[in-house]
Amino acid sequence: MGATKVYLSTLDAVVDPAAATISVFDRGFLYGDSVYETMRTVAGVPVERARHLARLHRSADGIGLGIPWSDDALADALARTHAATGNDESYVRMIVTRGVGPLMLDPRRSEEPTLVVIAMPLVLPDAAAYSRGISAVIVGTTKVQGGMLDPAIKSGNYLGSILALRQAIAAGGEDAILCTPTGEIAEGATSNVFFVRDGVVCTPDLQAGLLAGITREVVCELVVALGLTLRTERVLPEQLRAADEVFLTSSVRGIMPVTTLDGRTVGNGSAGPITVRLSARYEAYLASLR
Ligand SMILES: Cc1ncc(COP(=O)(O)O)c(C=O)c1O
């Protein structure tokens, strides 16, 4: 049994979800004018907290949102919220919005950002899902066009990913893989994409326009540590469809094999040998944080 607790800067307190209310004039609610990070804890501490906080700052800088809290204060809010749950481990989300303002777009009119931390019991897909893998669909929805919003910014506006997921589900898949406007593979709806071909591990280059996933970074380091060849490069949908192994990475799911892509079986239809080796290495890395 676990609990969900919420820290709200407007109260400077950790409260139950029912008491965690936010103004309808908060720009995070009105416009997705916010940035956020999702983490999981190991031994009660958010995994790669420093890298997540660094990305939170990069995202905030990218939308001109000044975060008024020190990293120590942010880390403290994370720790307080997790501690209040009593959970062994939590799924933790940290959100910073531009705050409350008048009902107008002008971002200069809201001066006090809102900080929200949500901690809830960590529920991972079961072991069978990791060996069976999931089905993904390369969807027609692309990452944003024309530089409207840098995909490297983890903003509160996830409509692109939501629409992509709707398309993938409509096509019978469980997850979506999005392309760039020029037709290269970018990333999953809430994950990064890797594939293996002839023993070489590849992932789209950040230049393609995608979120620099923290797990992507860690997995790249593990690929090198295992003595495997890593390539970050332009990836076309046909390369992904011809791969021996495909997997997605994210902070909460870790390494999730994709064993059906666009309705066709990847490899032999279960997690491939390099995915299994990397997953074991990733589990060892998580265990080393205890
Ligand atoms: C669009 C997108 N790409 C990639 C990722 C994976 O990032 P991370 O490994 O930091 O969780 C996420 C995570 O939510 C995401 O939303």
Q: Is the pLDDT of residue 276 over 90?
A: yes
The per-residue pLDDT for range 147-175, each reduced to its tens digit, is 668 899 999 989 989 999 999 999 999 99
Per-domain residue ranges of the chain: 5-121, 127-287
DSSP per residue, 103-155: SSS-GGG--S-EEEEEEEE--PPPHHHHHH-EEEEEEEEESPSTTSS-TTS-B
Amino acid found at 222:
L
Per-residue pLDDT, averaged over 54-78, amounts to 98
CA distance 132 to 174: 13
Amino acid found at 51:
R
DSSP per residue, 13-30: EEE-GGG----TTBHHHH
Q: Check pocket membership of 155 for ligand 1, CB cut-off 6 A.
A: no
Q: What are phi and psi of 177, to 5 degrees?
A: -120, 125
Q: What is the pLDDT of residue 289?
A: 97
Q: Check pocket membership of 59 for ligand 1, CB cut-off 6 A.
A: no
Spatial contact of 114 and 8, defined as CB atoms under 8 Å apart: yes
CA distance 256 to 41: 18
Per-residue pLDDT, averaged over 24-30, amounts to 97
Q: What is the pLDDT of residue 142?
A: 81
Per cent of the chain over pLDDT 90 is 93
Distances (CA, A) of 137 to 35, 134, 171: 27, 10, 7
Per-residue pLDDT, averaged over 249-269, amounts to 97
102: left (phi over 0), alpha (psi -120 to 50) or beta: beta
The per-residue pLDDT for range 73-88, each reduced to its tens digit, is 999 999 999 999 999 9
Give the position, in ligand 1's atom list, of the atom nearest the Cα of 251: 11
Confidence of residue 139 (pLDDT cuts 50, 70, 90): very high
Per-residue pLDDT, averaged over 226-235, amounts to 98
Q: Check pocket membership of 203 for ligand 1, CB cut-off 6 A.
A: no
Kindly report the average pLDDT of the chain as a whole number.
96
The per-residue pLDDT for range 173-228, each reduced to its tens digit, is 999 999 999 999 999 999 999 999 999 999 999 999 999 999 999 999 999 999 99
Q: What is the pLDDT of residue 252?
A: 96
Beta bridge partners of 256: 248
Q: Check pocket membership of 211 for ligand 1, CB cut-off 6 A.
A: yes
Q: What is the pLDDT of residue 141?
A: 80
CATH architecture entry for 5-121: 2-Layer Sandwich (3.30)
Q: What is the pLDDT of residue 1?
A: 62
Give the position, in ligand 1's atom list, of the atom nearest the Cα of 216: 9
Q: What is the pLDDT of residue 35?
A: 98
Q: Which long-range CB contacts under 8 A does 108-114 form with residues at least 24 apart?
A: 110/27, 112/68, 113/9, 113/65, 113/66, 113/67, 113/68, 114/8, 114/9, 114/10, 114/22, 114/26, 114/28
CATH superfamily for 127-287 is: D-amino Acid Aminotransferase, subunit A, domain 2 (3.20.10.10)
Residue nearest ligand 1's atom 1 by CA? 190
Give the position, in ligand 1's atom list, of the atom nearest the Cα of 151: 1
Distance of CA 31 to the CA centre of its chain: 20
Give the single-character DSSP code of 180. Answer: P
Distance 39 CA to ligand 1 centre (A): 10
Q: What is the pLDDT of residue 149?
A: 83
Pair of tokens at residue 33: 């004018």
Q: What is the pLDDT of residue 146?
A: 60
Q: Check pocket membership of 55 for ligand 1, CB cut-off 6 A.
A: no
Q: What is the pLDDT of residue 2?
A: 85
Residue nearest ligand 1's atom 5 by CA? 191
Q: Check pocket membership of 191 for ligand 1, CB cut-off 6 A.
A: yes
Q: In b/e form, how buried is each residue of 180-192, taking b as 16+ CB within 10 angstroms? A: beeebbbbbbbbb
Q: What is the pLDDT of residue 176?
A: 98
Confidence of residue 134 (pLDDT cuts 50, 70, 90): very high
